[in-house]
Amino acid sequence: MKNGSVKLLSTFLGVCFAVAVVGYKPVIIVHGLFDGSKEFTYLVRLINQSHPGTSVLVIDLYDYKASLKALWKQVQGFRQAVLPIMQNAEDGVHLICFSQGGLICRGLISTLPDHNVHSFISLSSPQAGQYGDTDYLRHVFPTFVKAHLYKACYNSIGQKFSICNYWNDPHHREQYVKHSDYLAVLNSERPNPNATVWKKTFLRIKKLVLIGGPDDGVITPWESSHFGFYNDNETIVDMKDQDVYVKDVFGLKTLDSRGDLVICVFPGVKHTKWHSNDKVYRDCIEKWLT
Q: Catalytic residue among 172, 179, 271, 275, which?
A: 271
Q: Catalytic residue among 55, 99, 125, 224, which?
A: 99
Q: What is the dihedral of CA 41, 42, 48, 53, to 10 degrees?
A: 10
What pLDDT does 133 receive? 74
- Beta-carbon contacts of residue 154 (< 8 Å; ≥ 6 apart): 164, 167, 169, 172, 175, 176, 178, 179, 180
Sheet holding 5-8, edge to edge: 5-8, 56-60, 27-30, 93-98, 117-123, 207-212, 261-265
Positive or negative, the Cα torsion across 31, 36, 38, 39? Answer: negative
Active site residue 283: no
Active site residue 216: yes
Residue of higher predicted confidence among 213 and 12: 213
Q: Element (H or E) spanning 77, and its range?
A: helix 71-87
Q: How, if at all, do strands 5-8 and 56-60 pair?
A: antiparallel
What pLDDT does 20 receive? 35
What pLDDT does 155 receive? 97
pLDDT band of residue 57 (cuts 50, 70, 90) is very high
Backbone phi, then psi, for 273, in 5-degree steps? -105, 0
Q: What is the pTM of this model?
A: 0.90
Coil/strand/helix, residue 87: helix
Q: Catalytic residue among 35, 60, 169, 216, which?
A: 216
At 218-252, the pLDDT tens digits run 999 999 999 999 999 999 999 999 999 999 999 99
Q: Element (H or E) spanning 94, and its range?
A: strand 93-98
What pLDDT does 119 receive? 98
Active site residue 243: no
Coil/strand/helix, residue 103: helix
At 162-214, the pLDDT tens digits run 999 999 999 999 999 999 999 999 999 998 999 999 999 999 999 999 999 99
Transcribe 125-193 into DSSP letters: --TT-B-S--HHHHHH-TT--GGGTHHHHSSTTGGGBHHHHTB--TT-HHHHHHH-SSHHHHTTSS--T
Q: Element (H or E) spanning 108, and its range?
A: helix 100-111
